[in-house]
């Protein structure tokens, strides 16, 4: 087990390295002159050249990359010109907000997706199954940004039960209940599609497993049906469910972009959209890198989880 984790951690190094390469060179491809963008259209050519030299942009790409990587290893992602603060500070602050939102959504979609999927499989073709199937279909066909608007209109504008936007109340907020009340709507919106995907997959994985020979064996040795379904079938089904939950983790991390925009959540997605519009390249670079790196770590966690459920992958 430890060996497996160690191996996986070792394999992480080249992936993270590749990630920095991809992120750096994608951003290097961006047309336009960053110095020009910073100084504005009325900058003199001399000023532009001076700023380029200052930013190291007159060097060759590999040199630029090495410098950038060196700085990165020291925790320096550069300075955002549009916000005029270090990229890393901004990114970490925004990313923690996104993690709260995406984490809540992931928990919601896992719990409800698994429950709905199991119920649906156990009561195949029953009323509950049909209801779940329909809800799943609605869930995955609904544009999440519109669902968010609908929820705001209904719960925040009509009923005034929950706040419409932001992470904390502007006056007097800041505690946990305040955060939770702001979190409910965006997290539920973000989880909607993912829940549908998890439920659908859980249903088909359970149905697939329930047809296997070892389920017949479990019944033939006289196990109670509850144990057959919730222990034997579910454990085997988890093997194909866990990777999908991993994919959903990436999905909610990315999908947060829409939800943060709709609910004005101060997360990294919204930051990225703004940074793209203002062409704040260092900010985009830092944001993408941090999210991607964290996603790699999440995938590692998923793999470790998988190896706990299925000891065969250790080999």
Partner 1 sequence: MSAISTSSSAGDAARTPERPKRRSFLRLLLRNRLAGLGLVVLAAIVAIAILAPILPLADPNATAPANRLLPPLSEGHLLGTDELGRDLLSRLVWGTRLSLFMGVAATLVAALLGSTIGLVAGYFGGRLDNALMRSIDMLMAFPYILLALAIVAVLGPGLLNALYAVAIVNIPFFARNIRGVTVGLSHKDFVEAARLSGMGHGRILVSEVLPNVMPVIVITMSTTVGWMILETAGLSFLGLGSQPPQADLGSILGEGRKVMLTAPHVTTIAGITIFLLVMSINLVGDGVRDALDPRLSAGALARPAPVTRIARAKNADDAAPPEGSPALAVRRLSTRFEVGERIYRAVNDVSFTIRRGECLGLVGESGSGKSVTALSLLGLVPSPPGVIRAGRVWREGEDVLSLSREKLRALRGGRVSYIFQDPLTTLHPLFTVGDQLVEAIRAHRPASHAEAWTQAVALLDRVRIPAAADRAEALPHELSGGMRQRVAIAMALANEPDLIIADEPTTALDVTVQAQILALLDELRRESGLALLFITHDFGVVSQLCDRVAVMYAGKIVEEGPTQAVLEAPAHPYTRLLIACVPILGSGKRALDAIPGLPPAVDRLPDGCAFAPRCPRATAACKEGEIPPVSVADRRSARCLYAGEVMRAATEGSAA
CB 170 to partner 1: min, Å? 18
- Which of 87, 122, 132, 185 lies at the binding interface for partner 1 (CB under 8 A)? 122
Q: How far, in Å, CA of 254 to CA of 257, rounded?
A: 6
CB of 141 to partner 1, least distance (A): 4
Residue ranges in 267-296 that form contacts with partner 1 under rule CB under 8 A: 269, 272-273, 275-277, 281, 284, 288, 291-292, 295-296
For partner 1, the closer of residues 146 and 230 by Cβ is 146
Which of 166, 173, 243, 250 forms a contact with partner 1 (CB under 8 A)? 250
Interaction of residue 89 with partner 1, rule CB under 8 A: no
Closest distance of CB 176 from partner 1, Å: 27
Cβ-based nearer residue to partner 1, 44 or 277: 277
Q: What residues from 9 to 28 belong to the interface with partner 1 (CB under 8 A)?
A: 15, 18-19, 22-23, 26-27
One symbol per residue from 127 to 156: x for binding partner 1 (CB under 8 A), - otherwise; what is it?
A: ----------xx-xxxxxxx--xx-xx---
Buried-state track 194-226, b at ≥16 Cβ within 10 A, e below 16: bbbbbbbbbbebbbebbeeeebeebeeeeeeee
CA pair distance 68, 70, nearest whole angstrom: 5
List the end-to-end C-alpha distance of the chain, in Å, as a whole number: 10
Query: Is the alpha carbon torsion for 312, 246, 231, 204 positive or negative?
Result: negative
Q: Check residue 312 for interaction with partner 1 (CB under 8 A).
A: yes
Closest CA to 49 of 32, 30, 68, 35: 35
Work out whether 172 is an interface residue with partner 1 (CB under 8 A): no
User: Does the CA dihedral 23-28-31-35 come out positive or negative?
Assistant: positive
Name residues contacting partner 1, limited to 184-213 (CB under 8 A): 204, 206-208, 210-213
Residues 49-88 that bind partner 1 (CB under 8 A): none
Q: Is 96 in the site for partner 1 (CB under 8 A)?
A: no
């Amino acid at each position: 087990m430890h060996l497996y984790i160690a191996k996986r951690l070792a394999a992480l190094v080249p992936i993270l390295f590749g990630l920095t390469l991809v992120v750096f060179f994608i951003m290097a491809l961006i047309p336009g002159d960053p110095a020009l963008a910073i100084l504005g259209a009325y900058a003199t050519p001399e000023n532009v050249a001076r700023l380029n030299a200052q930013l190291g942009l007159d060097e060759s790409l590999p040199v630029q990359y090495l410098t950038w990587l060196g700085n990165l290893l020291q925790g320096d992602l550069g300075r955002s010109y549009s916000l005029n603060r270090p990229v890393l500070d901004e990114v970490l602050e925004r990313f923690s907000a996104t993690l709260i939102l995406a984490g809540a959504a992931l928990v919601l979609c896992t719990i409800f997706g698994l429950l709905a999927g199991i119920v649906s499989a156990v009561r195949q073709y029953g009323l509950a199954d049909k209801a779940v199937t329909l809800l799943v279909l609605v869930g995955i066909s609904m544009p999440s940004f519109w669902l968010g608007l609908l929820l705001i209109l209904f719960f925040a504008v009509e009923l005034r039960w929950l706040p419409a936007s932001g992470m904390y109340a502007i006056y007097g907020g800041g505690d946990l209940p305040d955060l939770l009340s702001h979190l409910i709507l965006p997290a539920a919106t973000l989880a909607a599609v993912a829940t549908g995907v998890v439920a659908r997959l859980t249903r088909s994985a359970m149905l697939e497993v329930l047809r296997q020979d070892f389920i017949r064996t479990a019944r033939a040795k006289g196990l109670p049906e509850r144990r057959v379904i919730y222990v034997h079938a579910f454990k085997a089904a988890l093997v194909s469910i866990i990777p999908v939950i991993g994919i959903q983790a990436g999905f909610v991390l990315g999908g947060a972009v829409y939800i943060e925009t709709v609910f004005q959540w101060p997360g990294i997605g919204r930051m990225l959209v703004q940074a793209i519009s203002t062409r704040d390249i260092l900010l985009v670079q830092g944001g993408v890198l941090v999210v991607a790196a964290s996603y790699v770590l999440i995938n590692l966690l998923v793999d470790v989880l998988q190896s706990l459920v299925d000891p065969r992958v250790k080999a």
